[in-house]
Each structure stands twice: as C-alpha cells, then as structure tokens.
Chain A
Amino acid sequence: SQTIHQWPATLVQPVGSPLSLECTVEGTSNPNLYWYRQAAGRGLQLLFYSVGIGQISSEVPQNLSASRPQDRQFILSSKKLLLSDSGFYLCAWSVMRFNYGYTFGSGTRLTVV
C-alpha cells in the first residue's frame, strides 16, 4: 500500500532563517506531488505541484521554492522566512493521468517568530 511521510511535525523558526520540509511517498511510482499551505482561518492554498523529477509548477509567487530531486521525494524550501509564512504545510500525492483525489501527509505546523 502507498504511504506518504512528511517531517518534521512541528517547527518554530525565527524570521529570516531558512526552511526545508521534506516529503516522501512509498509504494507507488511516478506520482503527482503537491505542497499546500493552510493558514489559520483560511482554506488550503496550492503552492507547488510536480508531475515528474525536476518538474515544478508554482501556483503562487512568494519566497518559497520546491524541488523534486527523486521520483518520490518533494522538498519545500525558503532562504529567508517571513512571519506570513506561518501555517500548516501539507504534502500530498495522487496518481498520474486521472485525479482520484489526493492523499495528504500528516503535515508540518510551522510557526515563524
């Protein structure tokens, strides 16, 4: 069966510090991968998605970036965090070719102080 791992679960970082969140998927090949952010009182916002190694599409311009160095690994990064980057970050995967819905990881709660 497929599983998705996301870490760390919680993170407190000072403003201006770098960020690296990692997500890996097991039990499937060539998944579509996604990074979402859910800010307090707001909906899920799609940040990045990837349909293959090295292929990244950005939905919202911001100080975050994403990379996909391996088929089942997706990384979210920032060089300098802002207060507004605080939120609940969720990685998700889906099968390619047809959207049967996304499966989410357990999420990372990021607080920028």
Chain B
Amino acid sequence: QKEVEQNSGPLSVPEGAIASLNCTYSDRVSQSFFWYRQYSGKSPELIMSIYSNGDKEDGRFTAQLNKASQYVSLLIRDSQPSDSATYLCAVTYGGSQGNLIFGKGTKLSVKP
C-alpha cells in the first residue's frame, strides 16, 4: 500500500515563528520528495524538492529528508500570514520515474 502520511492540522503559529510540517512515507525505494503549497480554491504550487538525505534551504524554506526513517519535513522560518495555506507532501513511487503520491496535506494558519 502506497502511503504518504501528514498531520491534517490545523497548525497555528504566530507571525514570525517557525512552522514545522512533517511527512512520513511507506515506500523505502522512493527517491524524490516534494512540498507543494495550496491556497484555498487554488491548484497546488511546487515550492521545494529534495532528493538526498540532509537539509535543503531556499529562502525562508528548509526541506529535511531522512530516508532511513522515511521522514521528510518542511520548516518555514519567519512565518507570514501569506504562508497560510495547505501544504502537501508528495513522494515518488516506483523509482526515479515513478508517479507522485500525495499526502492529504497539513493546513497552516499564521496569526498576525
């Protein structure tokens, strides 16, 4: 069974704080990992990708991957109200050309 698990939230953080979003997956051979942001009523937008263990930083966003624990996370530093959205974790199955399986998403609310 292909599974990507996320806490549905809502996760509420004050403006300026660090938001931490977590995701676990069930397929040990997954090679590509992605975070998407989806505003209410809109389509998902790719914000981060990570392919190897460790951290990857892009602006206020840091993606972390631990393949041994089958765990991927997204940190958002200096959270802004505009970051309020649902964040979807996506994982490939079936190798590097595999299709993406999405988690159900974590709803983040950043309070001014």
Known: A99-B32, A99-B92, A100-B49. A44 touches B97 (CB 8 A): no
A: number of interface residues (CB 8 Å)? 22
> Does A64 belong to the interface (CB within 8 Å)?
no
Q: How far is the CA of A36 from the CA of B104 in the complex (A)?
A: 13
Q: Enumerate chain B interface residues (CB-CB to A < 8 A).
A: 32, 34, 41-46, 49, 88, 90, 92, 96-105
Main secondary structure of the interface of A (DSSP, over half): loop
Chain A residue contacts of B49, Cβ below 8 A? 100-101
Chain A residue contacts of B101, Cβ below 8 A? 46
Chain A residue contacts of B34, Cβ below 8 A? 101
Q: How far is the CA of A34 from the CA of B100 in the complex (A)?
A: 10
Q: Which of A11-19, A71-79, A104-112 contacts B (4 or more CB under 8 A)?
A: A104-112
Known: A43-B103, A44-B88. A98 touches B97 (CB 8 A): yes
**Are B44 and A90 in contact, CB atoms less than 8 angstroms apart?**
yes
Chain A residue contacts of B46, Cβ below 8 A? 101-103
| CB of A44 to closest CB in B, whole Å | 4
A residues 44-76 near B (Cβ < 8 Å) are 44, 46, 49, 59
| CB of B109 to closest CB in A, whole Å | 17
**Are A104 and B32 in contact, CB atoms less than 8 angstroms apart?**
no
